[in-house]
A and B are shown apart, each in its own frame.
Chain A
Amino acid sequence: MNPRPLLPLAVVSGLFLLLYRVLDLSVAWPDLDVATPAGRARLIALTVSRIPAPLLADFLLIGTTVSLGHPGGLRLLGKAHLAGGLILLALTPVFLIDSGSLAPAVVAGEVSVFRMLVVRVLVLLLGLGIGGILTGRLLLSVTPQTASHKPVDPGPKS
């Protein structure tokens, strides 16, 4: 059975997941004041803490584009990942400084929870940032010929 006619369905599903998450976040964005450290920190934390659906969407989009060997799609996804990765890495010091300025206001009993939340967001920012750059570089280096049509013999395994 040839699965190629069904692959656009995976693209639509991926785009739907991304759109759904953006709409979900856009409800919260107007309430956040990005001029203040608290507002910026909350915005960054809220955005990166919704990762499972975007990662699944990414997996669907990359898998389908590589399977189809679509050169324009590979370039577009590669550039989008590079840009997204760089933005996330650039946001890391911003979040660190903003959360540091919020730390004195945290109640004594909630310090450990605050630290865990900060660590969580930092891990996500760094992981997603580095992952985005690596994915972008790989996608830009994958040519349509090598994408999936011809499996390459890796040679004898050691």
Chain B
Amino acid sequence: MEPFDPKVRKLFWLAYLAAGLMLVDQVIEIAVALLGSNPTPGLASWRYGAFGLIAGRLGFLIVADAFLFAAATSLDHRIFLRILGFVHLAMAVVLFGALLLFGLDAIEMHGRARSAMSGLLNLATLRAGGVSAIAIALFTWAGIATIRMTRKHRRRGESRGSAPVISR
């Protein structure tokens, strides 16, 4: 990537601030919604609602994510990019586990719901499940691509910087 003028580079630091603000905002909003009413993680209906809420906020979190990637790539923060890659892979695994649990909860909720409500419930399940499946694919892709990119970058840097070997 071509380096920018130092003043323009400083603007990318503000993308970190924007991403941080968005993440804090969304995390507090989710926490208020989940902890505001009496949290009962033992109930399938609560878990189902909580997953739906988080899935609905994933779009905003992905925008914050894009800001982080834009800043780290533009400022050439390789170590941070590598950490981001591993964090994304971990997030994909956690979200996959949560999606499986959500599937089981959705089956249980479907069994309990009256016929008039089952259509709405199916739509909500499809929306939350679909968004999460796309997010899992995105996180996995971003994670693998970032880890590969930083690994290649490091190797190329090493070969460029290393002293020539003279064989006898």
Contact = CB atoms under 8 A, between A and B. Distances in A.
Contact of A113 (B18, B36, B67): B36
A148 B31 CA distance: 41
B120 interface: no
Contacts of A49: 25, 29
**Most chain A CB atoms below 10 A, which of B4, B6, B25, B26:** B25
A154 B3 contact: yes
Contacts of A141: 7
A131 B8 contact: no
Given A52-B60, A66-B11, A112-B35, A131 B5 contact: no
Interface residues of B, number: 30
Contacts of B10: 138
Interface string B1-27: 011111110110011011011101110
Contact of B14 (A117, A123, A134): A134
B65 to A, nearest CB: 11
Contacts of B17: 127, 130-131, 134
B160 to A, nearest CB: 11
Nearest to B37: A113
A135 B36 contact: no
Contacts, number: 93
Contact of B8 (A110, A124, A147): A147
A128 interface: yes
A95 B26 CA distance: 20
A59 interface: yes
A131 B14 contact: yes
A138 B11 contact: yes
Interface residues of A, number: 36
B35 A51 contact: no
A120 B24 contact: yes
Interface string A104-147: 00000010110011011001100110110011001101100011
B117 interface: no
A117 B5 contact: no
A132 B50 CA distance: 34
Nearest to B76: A157
Contacts of A5: none
Interface string A30-65: 000000000000000000010110011011001000
Contact of A127 (B11, B20, B31, B36): B20
B64 interface: yes
B32 interface: yes
Interface of B: 2-8, 10-11, 14-15, 17-18, 20-22, 24-26, 28-29, 31-32, 35-36, 60, 63-64, 67, 70
24 contacts: A52-B64, A55-B22, A62-B11, A110-B36, A112-B35, A113-B36, A117-B32, A120-B25, A123-B24, A124-B21, A128-B21, A131-B21, A134-B17, A135-B11, A138-B7, A139-B11, A142-B8, A142-B11, A146-B5, A147-B5, A147-B8, A148-B5, A151-B5, A153-B3
